[in-house]
Amino acid sequence: MIRVFVTSYKPVDEPSEKLYYVYVLEVINNGRCHKVERRYSSFLCLHKQLRKTHQTPEFPPKRVIHNTVKVLELRRAALEAYLQTLLLIEPTPRPLLDFLGVQPQPSLIEVECQEVSHQPLLAFRPNIHLEGGAGRTGDIVTEGVLTGLYGR
């Protein structure tokens, strides 16, 4: 099970580009947690890719005129809700797994189709104690125990 939360956002001010924000995603997959940073444009790219093959929820609009705390917080919450809705798609789309930095788990069908990596067991010897096999060994053991406890 995968859970994701957009926990925060932070400004990135690189000399070659103008100021932009990245959103910090906390991804929990099978009890393990890691963090990923993504720009709004990466979310938009994911949305465009997924809507070609899946029914996707409405994408949070860009319309940010001023990067105020209130606007950024509203977008953070909307992106979190968007991702959580995408995680309801079964099976989880590969582009979403890549976006979240999660390695896909093989399905049962894929496991059955993989080559067997162990040597097959050729045969078991029959359990003569359970099935009363050759020589009635089970009876001999029982007789010996009874003789030891009670005598002849």
CATH architecture label of 2-105: 2-Layer Sandwich (3.30)
Q: What ranges in 59-126 are assigned the alpha helix state H?
A: 69-86, 94-100, 108-113
Domain with CATH 3.30.1520.10 in the chain: 2-105
Residues contacting 119, CB < 8 A, separation 6+: none
Pairing mode, if any, of strands 2-12 and 20-29?
antiparallel
Of the CA atoms within 13 Å of residue 10, those in its CB half-sphere come to: 7
43-78 pLDDT, tens per residue?
999 999 999 999 989 998 877 666 788 888 889 999
100-141 pLDDT, tens per residue?
998 876 554 444 444 545 555 555 556 555 555 555 556 778
Residues contacting 130, CB < 8 A, separation 6+: 138
- Check: pTM over 0.75? Answer yes or no: no
